[in-house]
Amino acid sequence: MDRYRLHVNGRQREVRVPGDTPLLWALREELGLTGPKYGCGVGACGACVSLVDGQAARPCVRTVEESEHTRITTIEGLSARGDHAVQRAWLELDVAQCGYCQPGQIMAAVALLARTPDPDDEQIAEALRDNVCRCGTYPRIRAAVRRAAELARGDR
Amino acid sequence: MITRRSFLGTAGALVVAVSAPVPAGATTGGGGPLAPTVFVRVDRRGTIVATVPKPDTGQGVRTLAAVLVAEELAVGVADVTLEQAPGDTATYGPQGIANSTSARQLAQPLRTASATARCLLVAAAAAHWDVPAEECAARDGRVTHPRHRPLPYRDLVADAAALDPATVPVTLTPPQDWRLIGRTRAGRADARDIVTGRAHYGIDTRPEGGLVAVVARPPWIGALVESVEDTGALAVPGVVAVVRLDPPGAGQGGVAVVAGSTAAALRGRETLRVTWRGGTPDADSREWLADLAAALPAAPPGDLQRVYRLPLLAHAPMEPMNATAHVTADGLRVWAPHQDPGGLATQLARQLGLPEASVLVNATLAGGAFGRRIEPDPVAEAIACSRATGRPVTVRWTRVDDTRHDSYRPMSVHRLSATLDAEGVPVGRHHEVVTWPLTVLPVFNNPAIVRASGDHFPYTVPGEVSVLLRESPLRTGFWRSVYAGQFGYAEECFLSEIAGRGGHDQVDLRRRLLPADSRLRRVLDVAAARANWTRGVDAPLTRGVACHLDYGSAIAVVVTADPTRRRVVGVHAAVDVGVAVHPSGVRAQVEGGIMDAVSTVLGAQVTVRAGAVVESTFGDYAWARITDCPDIDVAIVPSTAPIGGLGELAYPPAAAAIASALAAGGDPVTGMPYGTPVG
Ligand code: FES
Ligand code: FES
């Protein structure tokens, strides 16, 4: 086992795993961060989406080794009180059904809004096209991303 | 009507337990007494706790409970704390979620229990003030009286718990006084946990000292383990054991690699060498479909006929199958995202020869279910692994495992025939179905049961429905709407085709064939009006309509599509679900059914080649993405009907309306997905 230092949610953490271990399993099982979900393990569903250096990334297809010297933010680290604009919009529009895909959807939306503060429906769809929601909450996700953009701008 | 109401004034808290019979029509395949029991507790600190007997897989039963309890106890939805009942039918009655029964079975006992608690608290306050109870009211967690300072519930709990409930009349809050039922804007219970990543699903279970297992599964259907070479796997750091799983006792069979972490278990599985025997290595779903079609009886007479071919579908819940079990000297503990924790506990106790009291099944949140999680196979695997290692073990299915080892919706072939009058209006019909039973529940190996599940034809056209069952070549199970998804799809597509051929409007023809005062006709009118049906759409847009009456509820769906881009553009649905307790949740279930329809009509199907399921992830099991999502409008039609079922209502008509819209711009519907080779 090797030691790797991971910078997660503003803290330096250490994990002892083989370097090729998928980051998702290190987050979930070594660090106890179960917000990023396992949905496919091959980058095909988006359930695990978290931020790596501010960009939407899929920890299931990144290794621990290549994640050293990056800044990782999981949904647990998005806001201290669960009041990020995207989280507030998600609550206001009652997006979740089973909720399992939602951490990934939210983190993908956060990354989108960071680079495109006022996305239109096409940009939303483009950014979230590889985040599957098996329950079919897409209409609400679309509306909630627009609402989050408003909230982030301080609109009421 | 209340059949049993018990009252437990346990130390320091007021606890009311109520079970009520289920309205006619709300039955499950399981049999047994249908009377789930709920518990509502108000403790000395005034905290209100409701125990939810059924698990939440996304259908919203926990939210439903919070709204009903808050309504009757005159508090806010957020003031109700929810406890999830473990599997225990002796205490909670039937706990399964199937056949869209959650709301129908639980609403009455939840309201009665909460109203009982409220009436006892009011009676305690009235006694304290020495005033008639009728002069008091419950509001915002307090009992008020015009001449007295309000008393918070917490100050009344001890007195209320000491009252003889038989002396206190219980009145439910009448509909005109509802603040929350049908009106609340509260969101889903657990929403805050979900958006912060704290919500705990089955897959997040990690008991102290727990291990993880992944299973090498049969490479073709029905294959059994002949031999295992596990030296390599056991040499992988972190791997603890290799456990042979033999069906049916240990699930679907295979070889489990148990390790200290998922990553190690997966590495171990890669190095495993398994030799397999038996099974059907040549199976091909195109041949299965051809076999079903060949079994159709000779065509009945009719003026118009159409054959529909429907594919295999996988459930693919977002949270893949998983279960955690710990077998100890004195019993068994299970954590599972399961649709029937009580049934599971009973079944496990019987199988393992344990007293039921020593089997504890914790019902976690589930990341979707759609019928798949009524089955115990992942639990059986976890038990076998825990037995072999003496430790708690979580069995994780990978996405590929989940897609390729499901209990699929059966394939089916439907021939519809209609006798038409001079105007082209149907006056007689035949619907012949050839399909497979559901192997997960033997009672479904019966054409009459399959027919009862599928046939809900609501129109005034006399006719016959016949079902022929062929032996199923793979595991089949309950898939949202069960056989109604197939029967309803074929029937509604056919009716739209009849309309088109006879020069009738799809809505008009349906209105003609529905009784004037029917709930279905009312929702059809609402959906058509909201879609501006009479105005029509401009080319290349097309439209389709379908209706469905089932589970004590009615729905109509109007779809606007662009066949040139193979896209669903807009959907207007109108539902009558009786009392729509949590409106946002009602809309969510309809939206979900519509998105399932978009997925399955536009492309998702499961195929079998060389004995194995071809599809593996959401990459090739072409489930809808946000890019496929139409604008969806769901109207809840006010209704005084009893609470109806909801979870499975929207899928059949949404699928038919989408296919009919696409067909309005091209070839007739001959199957599912639309315009794609099936199988
Ligand atoms: S689990 Fe990472 S994309 Fe599916
Ligand atoms: S809410 Fe269930 S998968 Fe998205």
Distance from the alpha carbon of residue A116 to the mean position of ligand 1, in angstroms: 23
Residue ending a domain, choose from A78, A113, A129:
A78
Which position has the token pair 């998005």? A78
Instruction: Compute the distance between CA of residue B265 and CA of residue B275 in angstroms, rounded to an integer.
Output: 19
CATH class of B202-279+321-396: alpha beta
Interface mutation vs chain A, best among B62, B63, B194, B568, most A CBs within 10 Å:
B194
- pLDDT attached to residue A156: 59
Place of tokens 């769809």: A125
The closest alpha carbon to B559, from B468, B466, B496, B485, belongs to B496
Cβ–Cβ below 8 Å for A36 and B197 = yes
Give the integer Cα–Cα distance in Å for B506 and B657.
10
Q: Which pLDDT belongs to residue B105?
A: 87
* Backbone angles phi and psi of B380, in degrees to 5: -60, -40
Q: Report the C-alpha gap between B345 and B362 in whole angstroms.
A: 9
Beta pairing class for B13-19 and B37-43? antiparallel
Q: Are residue A11 and residue A48 in the same domain, yes or no? A: yes
User: Rg of the Cα trace of chain A?
Assistant: 15
Asked whether the beta carbons of residue A76 and residue B198 sit closer than 8 angstroms, the reply is: yes
User: Are residues A12 and A60 located together in one domain of the fold?
Assistant: yes
Distance from CA of A68 to the nearest CA of B (A): 18
Listed in sequence order, the DSSP H helices in B44-140 are 61-72, 89-92, 102-129
pLDDT value of position B300: 84
Q: Are residues A65 and A112 in the same domain?
A: no
Q: How far is B187 from chain A (nearest CA, A)?
A: 5
A12-36 pLDDT per residue, tens:
999 999 999 999 999 999 999 999 9
Quick one: A99 and A40 in the same domain?
Answer: no
* Per-domain residue ranges of chain B: 4-196, 202-279+321-396, 412-663
- Please judge whether A45 and B317 are an interchain contact, meaning their C-beta atoms are less than 8 angstroms apart: no
How many interchain CB pairs under 8 A, A with B?
Answer: 198
Whole-number pLDDT of residue B102 = 84
Among A36, A55, A78, give the residue marking a domain's end.
A78
Query: Using only C-alpha atoms, what is the Rg of chain B?
Result: 27
Of B365, B289, B298, B409, the C-alpha closest to B97 is B365
Name, in order, each residue with C-beta under 8 angstroms of B375's C-beta and a sequence gap of 6 or more: B407, B440, B477
Q: Does B273 touch chain A (CB under 8 A)?
A: no
- Cα dist. B585→B232, B291, B318, B642 in Å? 50, 41, 19, 17
Residue-number span of the structural domain to which A149 is assigned: 85-153
| B632 chain-A contacts, CB cut-off 8 A | 139
Contact B237/A1, CB-based, under 8 Å? Answer: yes
CB contact residues (below 8 A), chain A span 115-144, against chain B: 124-126, 128-142
- 3-class secondary-structure state, position B135: helix
Determine the residue among B626, B651, B658 to mutate to test chain A binding: the one whose Cβ has the most chain A Cβ atoms within 10 Å.
Answer: B626
Intervals of chain A under pLDDT 70: 155-156
Nearest ligand 1 atom, CA A130: 3
Burial class (CB in 10 A: 0-12, 13-18, 19+), B511: middle
Rounded CA separation A114/A85 (Å): 11
Inter-chain residue contact A34 with B396, CB threshold 8 Å: no
The structure tokens listed for B494 are: 């056919």
Global confidence as pTM:
0.96
- In this structure, the strands spanning B37-43 and B4-8 are unpaired
**Are both A115 and A65 inside the same structural domain?**
no
* pLDDT confidence of residue B103: 86
Nearest residue on chain A to B198, judged by CA atoms? Answer: A35
Q: Are residues A70 and A26 in the same domain?
A: yes
Query: Which two structure tokens, joined as six digits, stand for B586?
Result: 């009602």
Collect all residues with Cβ–Cβ distance below 8 Å to B246 and sequence separation of at least 6. Answer: B224, B225, B253
- Nearest CB partner across the interface for B201, out of A100, A106, A129: A100
User: Is there a single domain that holds both residue A58 and residue A97?
Assistant: no
Does the beta carbon of A41 sit less than 6 angstroms from any atom of ligand 1? Answer: yes
CATH code at B412-663: 3.30.365.10
In angstroms, the CA B113 to CA B119 distance is 10
Cβ contact, residue pair B624, A136, below 8 Å: yes
H helices within B464-581, ranges in order? 484-501, 506-512, 519-530
Matching fold, domains B4-196 and B412-663: yes
Token pair of B333 as six digits: 């503990």
Cα of B612 to nearest chain A Cα, Å? 19
Put simply, whether A63 touches B (Cβ < 8 Å) is: no
Asked if the Cβ–Cβ distance from B365 to A98 is below 8 Å, we say yes
Among chain A residues, the shortest Cα distance to B56 is held by A98
Q: A144: Cβ below 6 Å to ligand 1?
A: no
Q: How far apart are CA B406 and CA B268, in angstroms?
A: 23
Cα(B654)–Cα(B317) distance, integer angstroms: 20
> Taking CB atoms and an 8 Å limit, are A91 and B596 in contact across chains?
no
Do residue A69 and residue A9 come from a single domain?
Answer: yes
CATH number of the domain at A90, please. 1.10.150.120
Give yes or no: residues A94 and A133 share one domain: yes
Cβ-contact B396, B212 below 8 angstroms: yes
A55 by Cβ neighbours in 10 Å (0-12 / 13-18 / 19+) ranks as exposed
- Please answer yes or no on whether B625 and A25 come within 8 Å at the CB atom: no
What is the Cα–Cα distance from A16 to A13, expressed in whole angstroms? 10
Q: From the CA of A98, give the closest atom in ligand 2.
A: 2
- Report the residue of chain B nearest A22, measured CA to CA: B263
Residue B182 contacts residue B583 (beta carbons within 8 Å): yes
Crossing angle of helices B153-162 and B102-129, rounded to 10° = 90
Report the separation in Å between the CA atom of A105 and the middle of ligand 2, taken as the mean of its atom positions.
Answer: 9
Show residues of chain B in contact with A76, CB under 8 Å. Answer: 196-198
* Total structural domains within chain A: 2
**CA of A94, nearest ligand number:** 2
- Mutation test residue for ligand 2: of A75, A94, A134, A141, the one with most atoms within 8 Å of CB: A134
HSE of B646 in the Cβ direction (CA atoms, 13 Å)? 33
Q: Residues A146, A102: one domain?
A: yes
CB atoms within 10 A of CB A2: 11
> Which parts of chain B have pLDDT scores under 70?
1-11, 20-35
Looking at beta carbons, which residues of chain A come within 8 Å of B320? 38-39
Say if residues A39 and A104 touch (Cβ distance below 8 Å). yes
Residues A71 and A91 in one domain: no
Q: What is the residue-wise DSSP string for chain A?
A: -EEEEEEETTEEEEEEE-TTSBHHHIIIIIS---SSPPS-SSSSS-TT-EEETTEEE-GGGSBHHHHTTSEEE-GGGS-SSS--HHHHHHHHTT--SS-TTHHHHHHHHHHHHHH-SS--HHHHHHHHTT---TT--HHHHHHHHHHHHHHHHT--
Parallel, antiparallel, or unpaired for β B463-469 and B426-435? parallel
Separation in Å, CA of B176 to nearest CA in chain A: 26
The candidate with the shortest Cα–Cα distance to B622, out of A132, A58, A49, A126, is A132
Q: Is the CB of A133 under 6 A from ligand 2?
A: yes
pLDDT of B555-573, one tens digit each?
999 999 999 999 999 999 9
Position A1 scores a pLDDT of 72
CA distance A46 to chain B (A): 10
Say how many CA atoms lie within 13 Å of B173 toward its Cβ: 26
**What pLDDT was estimated at residue B30?**
38
Residue A40's domain is classified under what CATH number? 3.10.20.30
Tell me: do A55 and A73 sit in the same domain: yes
Q: Which CATH architecture has domain B4-196?
A: 2-Layer Sandwich (3.30)
Domain boundary among A78, A108, A138: A78
ipTM of the complex: 0.98
Contact A103 B197 (CB under 8 A): yes
Question: What pLDDT is attached to residue B11?
Answer: 58
CA of A119 to nearest chain B CA: how many angstroms apart?
14
